A and B are shown apart, each in its own frame.
Chain A
Amino acid sequence: MIQDIALFLFQTIVFPGVFFIVVLAFGSNWMYRKFYARLQRRIGPESAGIFGILQGFADYLKTATKEDIIPYGANQVIFKYLPVIAPVPVVVGMFFIPIIDTKGFISSPGDIYAIVFILTIVTTTEIILGWASGSKFALIGSSRSGMQLVSFGIPFIFSMLYAIIKAKSFSLEDIVLSQTGTKLKFLPNWNLFGLGGIAFLIFIICALAELEKPPFDTPEAETEIAGGWTLEYSGRGYAYILLLEDLKMVFVISLGVVLFLGGPLGPTFGLGEPWIAVLYFIYFSLKYFAVLLILTLISSSLARMKIRHIVFGSWTYLAPLAIASIILTILLEGG
């Protein structure tokens, strides 16, 4: 009994729980920036910790110790307290992701529903955060964020639908298990290979939009609207927003790994119970960083798009492509 409670506490607070997720968030922040810099022949973060690996944490600490400034026109309550609870949904979402097992910490037959709900709620939080700061630039950023949600929501869900159709289930565990085995004797049976490639491409594009990384960083567009919805936040509020952005990155990339790259699956070499978890963890991290690198490569090689182009492009190319890929999947691979 006590052992169970201890395990539960350990799992919630330390390992697949909050601590691990936050560490992963800061790690991904560092990884993104380091890789982004190396693509541009810069060094990137290098002072905080070895190779600057603590840079994300250092930034968070530094911002958190700064003065909190609440603007005159802001909605006082929302401005003060919403940033604090904004990262919570993402952390909850991470509990669904299977990392050391084929099953997540929380697992239910309707995982995908919860995940889509969390993704939407995060963007909505951002819109409210921007609106509550009472600045014109922040309001423009909020409205752009909303427009991106409207234009990328449908393709995003449709790209996830591929994995759902393949697994014939809404549970992430079934989706992972449906990707066991091999294809054509040498390729792993991941959703990425074959028709799922199109869905993966759409997923990556929508992920960039969800993360507000270039070329879809219009809601924050530094040179146009000076930071968009994050503009008025300072001190602890901004620190939480930084954390939210990093956590979002962890969540979306992990989702991509689970849906298209087979999650923690990989050759097990016939190992037993405790070692298989370690192997799963290693495979998951490798895939995670691979997806992160793809994201960085795309976002570093493109210029920021205009919101008009984004809405047009999404509805004229991305959404039809997503729907077509789903129809093809149903026709060719059976639904």
Chain B
Amino acid sequence: MLIVELIKNLFRKPETVRYPYETKGLNFPERLRAMHVIDQDSCIGCSKCARACPAFVIQMVPLTEEELAKRNEKIKRKRVKPVIDLTACIFCGVCEEVCPTDCLNLTNQLVMPSGRKEELEVG
């Protein structure tokens, strides 16, 4: 009977999780695709990710003088770097798949609300 079930529910813990104040009981699997992390030191600027992106949100931005000076020996030919606009990203993970140096990764870091657009750019 439903009514018995309902009365039992009164004495059970509510299923609601008070996110974001508590995260206990939430499922954050390893494969969860959320915020990107780009390791610019090992990125070679091949722009494969930008070409593969189905939502066209990865832009290859030219490096500034400062960055050009700072880049290390291995990636001497790097002229551009990827910048991801998270506001339009669909989190499909294709960029991660095509990256030849594994420098672009999707973490399971879900919390990314922000009031400023600049904070939602990864790169």
Contacts and interface: CB of A to CB of B under 8 A. Distances in A.
Interface of A: 35, 37-43, 297, 300-301
B62 to A, nearest CB: 48
Given A41-B15, A42-B16, A301 B10 contact: no
Nearest to B13: A41
Contacts of B10: 35, 38-39
A40 B3 contact: no
Interface string B1-31: 0110011011010111010000000000000
Contacts, number: 29
Nearest to A296: B6
B9 A39 contact: yes
B6 A43 contact: no
A297 B3 contact: yes
Q: Taking each of B2, B7, B10, which has the highest tally of chain A beta carbons within 10 Å of its own beta carbon?
A: B10
19 contacts: A37-B14, A38-B9, A38-B10, A39-B6, A39-B7, A39-B9, A39-B10, A40-B9, A41-B12, A42-B14, A42-B16, A43-B14, A43-B16, A297-B3, A297-B6, A297-B7, A300-B6, A301-B2, A301-B3
A186 to B, nearest CB: 25
A40 B15 CA distance: 9
Contacts of A301: 2-3, 6
Q: Is chain B's binding surface mostly helix, strand, loop or mixed?
A: helix
A34 to B, nearest CB: 11
A42 B3 contact: no
Nearest to B6: A39
A38 B3 contact: no
A300 to B, nearest CB: 6
A41 B3 contact: no
A35 B11 CA distance: 11
Interface in B11-58: 12, 14-16, 18
Contacts of A41: 9, 12, 14-16
Nearest to A298: B3
B90 to A, nearest CB: 31
A174 to B, nearest CB: 36
A271 B100 CA distance: 86
A42 B12 CA distance: 10
